[in-house]
Every structure is written in structure tokens, then in C-alpha cells.
Amino acid sequence: MTSQESEASRVGQVLAQLSSSGHRITNPRRHIVTALVQAGGHLTAEEVATAVQRRDPSVHLATVYRTLDALERAGVIIHIHLGHGRAIYHLADSSHYHLYCQQCGSVREIPQSEVDDLFALIGRAYDFEPSLGHFAIIGTCGRCIDRRGSKGNRSRGTSPESIA
Amino acid sequence: MTSQESEASRVGQVLAQLSSSGHRITNPRRHIVTALVQAGGHLTAEEVATAVQRRDPSVHLATVYRTLDALERAGVIIHIHLGHGRAIYHLADSSHYHLYCQQCGSVREIPQSEVDDLFALIGRAYDFEPSLGHFAIIGTCGRCIDRRGSKGNRSRGTSPESIA
DNA sequence: TTTATTGCAAATTATTTGCACATCA
DNA sequence: TGATGTGCAAATAATTTGCAATAAA
């Protein structure tokens, strides 16, 4: 199976799910799902719109938002927040958390299982059930830490500098 | 020392810090700092403005934002994000993280030291330095978990800010 | 045909900014 | 006095919504 074939079938699957949850299949929706599948990763609504508009410039950003919403309610995609700004969307096929670097904007995935134990501890200690899925873990990635260290060599690490 | 006295001295301290970091002391700023000190906890910019305007209605919300910004750059206050919506501000005197319940909107503080070890593990494993200070840990507080468990439905009558 | 969906423009929310005037050091 | 700070209105940024026109089932 070539990558185009598997992409096409994935698009079909997603559209089928959308359809079976009571929604109609339209041209804008086909393009939006295709963009999501082809990206393979995380896209902002605006990035989805840009990709879609390369194929059909008439598709409006508002339609993208509405479709992303419909896809999410149908359970095929998920959106998460990277701190301040926009949300990013991805297919709901793998359960992972996100590490978002405030410096360089990179997003990395970490498998859910690896962190759940840690957060379960917080939950037990504070009678609180953290939901890390919906918000990224904000911080600084290793590359940016290195870059910072080689330059000004600023006090970081244990010091309470996390106020940005 | 009465509570009014200690409040007043705290206000004085904060204003002194603001002054010594090169800013001027004005009437709006006095009121804003007082509101922050009296609240003792976490306030949104709008809540600060409301409190301030009870004493001086002419103080504009934009001034509140600008002053909060100045106070933050002077190192006396900190703001953190509760997920989607607004930011909350508090005095920078205690280092703590925040547990934000999406259901009921409650915010609880947890001492920084207790969670740092856990997050250091993530950092080591993924070459990533999480900065939890600036964003709340989102989730569901124990009371809301219980409520959800016992009633088994989604009616959350007490939620002040129901954020998806 | 009938209801969902779309495009567009206008509204929202939280915050920021340009500007002319007021005020603190 | 002269840089800072203030009130106000208008600008952002990301997203949502009302509505009349269109298209899917």
C-alpha cells in the first residue's frame, strides 16, 4: 500500500465516522479531513485553512472552525492548547501528551502512559484529577536550554525563573 | 499587629519595590496594589478593576492591565493562566503551583517543592524543562469528581465559568 | 424537498496600543 | 519641567455566531 493509498483510506475512514455520527459529507469537509490526515501531526485552525485553500480558495476559515468542531464531537480529532495562543488539532488515533517549548514553539509528543503515574501521585496527594490531555505541558526544550546556556549562561534549573 | 496594619505595610512594601524599580507611585497604582493585597489570593484583571473602581470609578481597565504589567516586571506579582480564558494575578511571595478545576472553576495552591521532583523526571526523560509556574494544572477537583460519581450526570449547577 | 452546511460580516473575549492630556519626581 | 502614567477609543488575535444562500440526503 503506497502512502497515498493509506492516506486516502484514512480520509475515508474519518469521513465515514463523521457521516455515521449524523453529519453530511461536503467538499470543504473532504478537504479539511485530507489536510489533517496529510499533515500527520498537529495543525492550527489557520494552518488547516491555508492547506485547504490551496485546493479550494473559497473555503472560509469559519467553516474550518465549524468542521473541526464537528470532527471533534464525532470523536475523530482532538484539540489541545499550547498555553497562551491558539489551539492545535490532530487525529485522535494516538493517546499522547504534548511538550510545548515556549522559546522555539516546537511541540513534542510523549506517550500518555509514561507520565500518568506521576500525575496520579498529584491526584492522590491533592484529591485532584489532572487532565493533561487537553493542555500542553509548557516549558523549554533541551535544544533551547542548551542555546540559552551557551549564550548568557543564565541561572536556570532549580531557580524559580519559571515566571515568563 | 492588626490585619489592617499588616495589609497597609504590605501595600507599602509593594509600592516601595515598584518605586525602586523606577516606576512612579500614582493613585490608581495605590488602589490596585491595595486590591491585590486585600484579596490575598488570585484575581483576574477584571476583578482587580472592579475592586479598584469601588474606591475610584475613574480608574480604567487599561490602566489596571498596564499596572499589573509594571508590577510583574518589578517582580512583586505573578500571573498564571487557567487554560482557555483569563489570567489570574497574585503577589509573588509564595512559590506555588495551581490546580484549576474545569468543572467548578476553583483554584487550589500546591507547594512547588512537592511536584518539582515529579516534573524533573519528565525533564530528564525527555530533555525538557517544564515550567509549571506559569500555567495552572488543569483537571477536576475531588469534590467535582464525587459529584460526578454520585449523580452520574453532567448537571453542574455551581460552575461559575464553564470552560470547555 | 427539507434540513444541514456554507460564506460572509459582525460579534466576542481578553488584552494591548496610539494618542493627547494629566501628573509625579 | 519633563518623562511617566492615564483615560479613552480603537486595534488585536482567536474564535464564534446570525443570517441568507446553497447543497447534501
Determine if strand D comes within 7 Å of the CB of A66. Answer: yes
Chain B partners of A157 at a C-beta cutoff of 8 Å?
A: 129
A89-105 pLDDT tens trace: 988 877 777 777 766 66
Task: Give the integer Cα–Cα distance in Å for A10 and A87.
Answer: 23
C1' nearest to CA of A25: which nucleotide?
Answer: D24
Of B90, B104, B131, B143, which to mutate for an interface test with A (greatest number of A Cβ within 10 Å)?
B131
| Closest CB from B118, B123, B140 relative to A129 | B140
Q: Do A157 and B129 touch (CB under 8 A)?
A: yes
* Angstrom distances, CA of residue A97 to CA of B89, B104, B125, B140: 27, 24, 14, 17
**CA-nearest residue of chain B to A85?**
B84
pLDDT for the residue B73: 92
Contact between residue A102 and residue A164 where contact means Cβ atoms under 8 Å apart: yes
CATH number of B1-90: 1.10.10.10
Q: How confident is the model at residue A14 (pLDDT cuts 50, 70, 90)?
A: very high
Which residues from 113-142 of B have any strand D atom under 7 Å from their CB? none
More reliable by pLDDT, B36 or A88:
B36
Instruction: Please give the grid coordinates belonging to residue B129.
Output: 524543562
- The one-character DSSP state at B136 is P
B27 CB neighbour count, 10 Å cutoff: 12
* Angstrom distances, CA of residue B107 to CA of A40, A128, A163, B8, B32: 36, 11, 18, 26, 21
Task: Give the integer Cα–Cα distance in Å for B140 and B101.
Answer: 5
Chain A partners of B134 at a C-beta cutoff of 8 Å?
A: 83, 138, 162-164
- How do beta strands B96-101 and B107-111 pair? antiparallel
pLDDT for the residue B154: 34
What rounded mean pLDDT belongs to chain A? 78
Distance from CA of A142 to the nearest CA of B (A): 5
Contact between residue B141 and residue A127 where contact means Cβ atoms under 8 Å apart: yes
**CA-nearest residue of chain B to A109?**
B126
A67-84 pLDDT tens trace: 999 999 999 998 887 766
Q: How confident is the model at residue A55 (pLDDT cuts 50, 70, 90)?
A: very high
Q: Go through A60-72 and write b for each residue having 16 or more CB atoms within 10 A of its CB, e for each that does not.
A: eeebbeebbebbe
pLDDT tens for chain B, 164 residues: list them: 666 668 888 999 999 999 999 999 999 999 999 999 999 878 999 999 999 999 999 999 999 999 999 999 999 998 887 766 678 898 887 777 777 776 666 777 777 776 677 667 767 777 777 766 666 676 677 766 666 555 433 333 333 332 22
Q: Name the residue among B102, B109, B107 with its Cα closest to residue B159.
A: B102
Place of cell 475515508: A12
A95-154 matches A1-90 in CATH topology: no
Task: Give the integer Cα–Cα distance in Å for A140 and A143.
Answer: 8
- How do beta strands B128-130 and A137-141 pair? antiparallel
Determine if strand D comes within 7 Å of the CB of A45. Answer: yes
Which runs of consecutive H residues, i.e. helices, occur in B21-134? 27-39, 45-55, 61-73, 112-126
Residue A26 (CA) to nucleotide D23 (C1'), in angstroms, measures 8
Beta carbons within 8 Å of A110's beta carbon, 6+ residues apart: A96, A97, A98, A99, B122, B126
What residue spans define the domains of chain B? Answer: 1-90, 95-154
Residue B92 (CA) to nucleotide C12 (C1'), in angstroms, measures 32
Q: How confident is the model at residue A132 (pLDDT cuts 50, 70, 90)?
A: low
* Best CATH choice for the domain B95-154 from the list 3.30.960.10, 3.40.1190.20, 3.60.20.40, 3.30.1490.190: 3.30.1490.190
